[in-house]
Amino acid sequence: MTFRQDHWDCGGSLDGLLAGYALGALPRPVRRLVDAHLEMKPQAREFVHGLECLCSAKMEKAPPAALSNRETMLSAILAAEPAARPCCKAKAHGIEASLPRALTSYVGVPLDALRWRRILPGLKEARLPEEDGCSVSLMQIRAGTKVPQHTHEGQEITLVLKGAFADETGRYGAGDIAIGDEALDHRPIVPQDEDCLCFIVIDGRLRLTGPVGGLVSRFFG
């Protein structure tokens, strides 16, 4: 895991992402994503508060020169024993109700006022302005849709706002965060019973790897 002013890397783990949040080391779009996660999973605040307390204690004890080494501090935080991070379920309502306050202010307009474009059957995307070197978008995925197989030339942080999807790493429901990087080659699938809405931040490009990759790669990245 690496957190510098010009680069951030959560190491592909949610704990690493939340530690970066506690350190104040994440790009603004990713901070807003985590803010929304904490709205939807309020019990996760206990885990983050534990990280923030550990971070504060480390800063009080460390000499000034050591404070610039955020990676060392992060390793120390994760080596400690913060409060357990429990899981709680967020209720999914209509598409407008599934946008947390942190993202309502970030997006700035109602979802139906965004410019949605159809990428593939069952898959629509609304791109938001790039910020801090990150591509930011909202994605609507129709129930039963299989997203094309792809990997990443960087990090892909996905917050599920409504519905759910599953891939090779597990199932993600409303309020959950999925993290992909160069090591992950996956094909997310949305269950048949409900559409899925996601907020996605990417600091690189997606690279399609399945049989249809050459046909639709122009729509990604």
DSSP of 155-221: -EEEEEEESEEEETTEEEETT-EEEE-TT--B--B--TTS-EEEEEEESS-EEE-STTHHHHGGG--
76 pLDDT band, cuts 50/70/90, is low
Which residue would you say has higher pLDDT here, 57 or 166?
166
Distance between CA atoms of residues 192 and 142, nearest Å: 8
Task: Name 219's Cβ contacts closer than 8 Å, sequence gap at least 6.
Answer: 119, 120
Quick one: pLDDT at residue 50? 75
What are the tens digits of pLDDT across the range 112-144? 999 999 999 999 999 999 999 999 999 999 999
Q: What is the CATH number of domain 101-219?
A: 2.60.120.10
pLDDT greater than 60 at residue 5: no
Taking CA atoms, 188 is separated from 104, 170, 184, in Å, by: 25, 10, 12
111 pLDDT band, cuts 50/70/90, is very high
pTM of the model: 0.76
Please state the separation of Cα 44 from the chain's center in Å.
15
Q: What percent of the chain has pLDDT over 70?
A: 71
Distance between CA atoms of residues 139 and 95, nearest Å: 12
Tell me the β-bridge partners of 63. none
What are the tens digits of pLDDT across the range 44-66? 888 888 777 776 655 455 444 44
Quick one: pLDDT at residue 75? 56
Read off the pLDDT of each residue in 182-211 and give the average, rounded to a whole number: 89
Q: Which two tokens stand for residue 213?
A: 């990759």
pLDDT greater than 70 at residue 97: no
Domain ranges of the chain: 2-79, 101-219
CA angle 75–199–126, rounded 5-degree value:
140
Contact call for residues 91 and 99 (beta carbons, < 8 A): no
Distance between CA atoms of residues 138 and 70, nearest Å: 31
**Residue 59 corresponds to which amino acid?**
M
Read off the pLDDT of each residue in 189-207 and give the average, rounded to a whole number: 92
